[in-house]
């Protein structure tokens, strides 16, 4: 089964938009936004949101804004803003001139807050953060009203002006919405809308010492930008009444918030806080470590934007949380790379082979196909000579049943070259390790086919010793040892499940000479081994490859899981 066999995944948001267009709710406009907080790098979950927001806008001839939700200066950084822009572009989306920042609206947001105060809908509260928490009540008990709740409008306006002017210490006061301390929805119990924080903001510097809270800034930012459909993840469902409340109080343009289930993937983590922990505690080498589900990590690993977009289309958009098998993501990647990645031969764990009857100084340039899936990719020459390397694992002195590769007395095919037969095994006297094989070749089998029609059971890749380029190859495994750490009955910290074997470095690899001029980001299929991407650590002296994904297709297994988990099947 291949990806195109799927019907387009269901997307209930598409249906809502269609209905809105029919009823002319927004005069036929569709305007979405992707609103990242610049407090970390984007991950594959964000890709789902990006594909959804930019994808729907494109589908309905609408627009999608890139808006940075930069209201928490203590956690935000220019580095993150730059990385987010890079990643959205790389995924293939274009916000044109619509690059916005919540911080650009600080003055307007402040005025909205003043308007709320004037309406008697907000007040300055002197309770500490802890007191606010204690007064809030619980899901089963109502909250208690703040003793500052009934300050006069004049006093509130005066205190808010002085808050802005920097007269009060950090956290000493807040501006709170005056809603309902008995509301069954905790978000409606007089939420804080402004707090005092003296922190340098990446864009506004020291201009402000009060900052709006997310719920307040977000709905008004959407309103200012005249967003039609404000698409966010399910955890904001309980915040929607607040979103609507703010906009209704001031009777301003009112977008509609629509929630969908966030993407969860097996064997990895998807929260920026946890990703930051892995980076800060040096479990990984940085935000772009190829083991991470960050877009920069995936790019370095060799993921293509097309594979990620296909994946996001396949998983669809639902209202119910589900866990997606990471094998599905890998399937999308293989499917893409199979069509596009040129083939090459590389030996990861080399074993020397001397072809005794091959002329000493002879070198033949043999024809090799660049991509059997794409004839236009053409052919290349690979040199063959008397001494070659094969994969250690492709030889067994004492082959078990069903092992068809090279063994003493056995004949196999060298891809694009000749049939060879193994005669002797040379071992290290001390360790007993096999260090060299002696073989003969059949000159009549040039190109890898016997004129007498005899068959061999195995075809192996190889490289010519005299022509190889040494390389380091990094192999990756799952980031975590369990599918879903949040499902752990022992509730251990997710770091306990970090896979200590998630990186294996092979430093004695040998690749064919056609790879001499590769550059970071180039992706190859190393025949029989998988897909490999040139790492930016590559220098003139040292080639470094990341294994993007193995060749093994676990599609049958994915299909079975999909039937079990209707979350992303039909």
Task: Name the residues that contact ligand ATP, by CB under 6 A.
Answer: 35-37, 45-46, 48-49, 232-233, 262-263, 270-273
Active site residue 22: no
In the bound state with ligand ATP, the residue whose beta carbon lies nearer, of 135 and 214, is 214
Q: Which two tokens stand for residue 251?
A: 């009777």
Question: Which one of the listed residues 262, 352, 381, 396 is annotated catalytic?
Answer: 262
Only one residue has tokens 């409008």, namely 153
Kindly report the CA angle at 468 between 340 and 360, in degrees rounded to 5?
Answer: 130
**What is the closest distance, in whole angstroms, from the C-beta atom of residue 263 to ligand ATP in the complex?**
4
**What is the closest distance, in whole angstroms, from the C-beta atom of residue 233 to ligand ATP in the complex?**
4
Burial class (CB within 10 angstroms; exposed 0-12, middle 13-18, buried 19+) of 513: middle
In the bound state with ligand ATP, the residue whose beta carbon lies nearer, of 37 and 436, is 37
Is residue 532 within 8 A of residue 546, CB to CB? The reply is yes
Q: Which residues pair with 285 in a beta bridge?
A: none
Q: Which residues pair with 231 in a beta bridge?
A: 258
CA dist., res. 269 & res. 353, Å (int) = 44
Active site residue 272: yes
Q: Which residues have CB under 8 Å from 254's CB, separation 6+?
A: 223, 244, 247, 248
In the bound state with ligand ATP, the residue whose beta carbon lies nearer, of 324 and 348, is 324
In the bound state with ligand ATP, the residue whose beta carbon lies nearer, of 264 and 459, is 264
Question: Which one of the listed residues 14, 25, 29, 37 is annotated catalytic?
Answer: 37
Cβ-proximal residue to ligand ATP, closest one:
45
Q: Which two tokens stand for residue 504?
A: 């294996």
Is residue 82 within 8 A of residue 104, CB to CB? The reply is no
Q: Which two tokens stand for residue 98?
A: 């619509």
Q: Which residues have CB under 8 Å from 401's CB, separation 6+?
A: none
**What is the closest distance, in whole angstroms, from the C-beta atom of residue 266 to ligand ATP in the complex?**
13
In the bound state with ligand ATP, the residue whose beta carbon lies nearer, of 236 and 389, is 236
CA dist., res. 94 & res. 362, Å (int) = 54
Active site residue 262: yes
CA end-to-end span of the chain: 15
CA dist., res. 117 & res. 111, Å (int) = 10
In the bound state with ligand ATP, the residue whose beta carbon lies nearer, of 288 and 527, is 288
**What is the closest distance, in whole angstroms, from the C-beta atom of residue 19 to ligand ATP in the complex?**
22
**What is the closest distance, in whole angstroms, from the C-beta atom of residue 387 to ligand ATP in the complex?**
52
Question: Which one of the listed residues 178, 272, 299, 405 is annotated catalytic?
Answer: 272
**What is the closest distance, in whole angstroms, from the C-beta atom of residue 253 to ligand ATP in the complex?**
20
Give whole-number Cα distances, 222 to 239, 242, 433, in Å. 15, 14, 67
So which residues are the catalytic ones?
37, 262, 272
């Amino acid at each position: 089964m291949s990806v195109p066999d799927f019907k387009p995944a269901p997307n209930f948001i598409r249906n809502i938009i269609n209905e809105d267009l029919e009823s002319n709710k927004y005069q036929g406009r569709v305007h979405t936004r992707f609103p990242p907080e610049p407090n970390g790098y984007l991950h594959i979950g964000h890709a789902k949101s990006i594909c959804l927001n930019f994808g729907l806008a494109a589908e309905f001839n609408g627009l999608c804004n890139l808006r940075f939700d930069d209201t928490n200066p203590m956690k935000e950084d220019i580095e993150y803003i730059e990385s987010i822009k890079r990643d959205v572009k790389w995924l293939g989306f274009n916000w044109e001139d619509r690059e916005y920042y919540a911080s650009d609206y600080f003055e307007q947001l402040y005025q909205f807050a003043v308007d709320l105060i004037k309406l008697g809908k907000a007040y300055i509260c002197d309770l500490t953060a802890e007191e606010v928490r204690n007064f809030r009540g619980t899901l089963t008990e109502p909250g208690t009203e703040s003793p500052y709740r009934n300050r006069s409008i004049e006093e509130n306006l005066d205190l808010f002006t002085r808050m802005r002017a920097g007269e009060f210490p950090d956290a000493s006061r807040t501006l709170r919405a005056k809603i309902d301390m008995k509301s069954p929805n905790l978000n409606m119990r007089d939420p804080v809308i402004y707090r005092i924080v003296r922190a340098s903001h990446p864009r506004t510097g020291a201009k402000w010492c009060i900052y709006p809270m997310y719920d307040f800034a977000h709905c008004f930012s959407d309103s200012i930008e005249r967003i039609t459909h404000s698409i966010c993840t399910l955890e904001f469902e309980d915040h929607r009444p607040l979103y609507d409340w703010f906009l209704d109080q001031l009777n301003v343009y009112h977008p509609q918030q629509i929630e969908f289930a966030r993407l969860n993937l097996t064997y990895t983590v998807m929260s920026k806080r946890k990703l930051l922990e892995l980076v800060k505690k040096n479990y990984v080498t940085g935000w772009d470590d190829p083991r991470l589900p960050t877009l920069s990590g995936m790019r370095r690993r060799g993921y293509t934007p097309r594979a990620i977009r296909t994946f996001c289309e396949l998983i669809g958009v639902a209202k119910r949380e589900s866990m997606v098998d990471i094998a599905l993501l890998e399937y999308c990647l293989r499917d893409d790379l199979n069509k596009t990645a040129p083939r090459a031969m590389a030996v990861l764990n080399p074993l020397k082979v001397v072809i005794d009857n091959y002329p000493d100084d002879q070198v033949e340039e043999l024809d090799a196909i660049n991509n059997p899936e794409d004839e236009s990719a053409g052919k290349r020459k690979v040199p063959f000579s008397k001494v070659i390397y094969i994969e250690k694992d492709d030889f067994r002195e004492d082959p078990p049943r069903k092992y068809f590769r090279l063994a003493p007395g056995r004949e196999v095919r060298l891809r694009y070259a000749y049939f060879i037969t193994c005669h002797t095994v040379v071992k290290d006297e001390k360790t007993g390790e096999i260090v060299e094989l002696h073989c003969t070749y059949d000159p009549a089998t040039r190109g890898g086919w016997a004129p007498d029609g005899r068959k061999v059971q195995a075809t192996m890749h190889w490289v010519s010793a005299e022509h190889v380029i040494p390389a380091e190859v990094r192999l990756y495994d799952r980031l975590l040892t369990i599918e879903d750490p949040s499902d752990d009955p022992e509730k251990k910290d997710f770091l306990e499940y970090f896979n200590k074997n998630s990186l294996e470095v092979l430093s004695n690899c040998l690749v064919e000479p056609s790879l001499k001029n590769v550059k970071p980001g180039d992706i190859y299929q190393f025949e029989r081994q998988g897909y490999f991407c040139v790492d930016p650590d590559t220098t003139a002296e040292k080639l470094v490859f990341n294994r993007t994904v193995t060749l093994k297709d676990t599609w049958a297994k994915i299909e079975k899981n999909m039937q079990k988990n209707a979350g992303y099947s039909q």
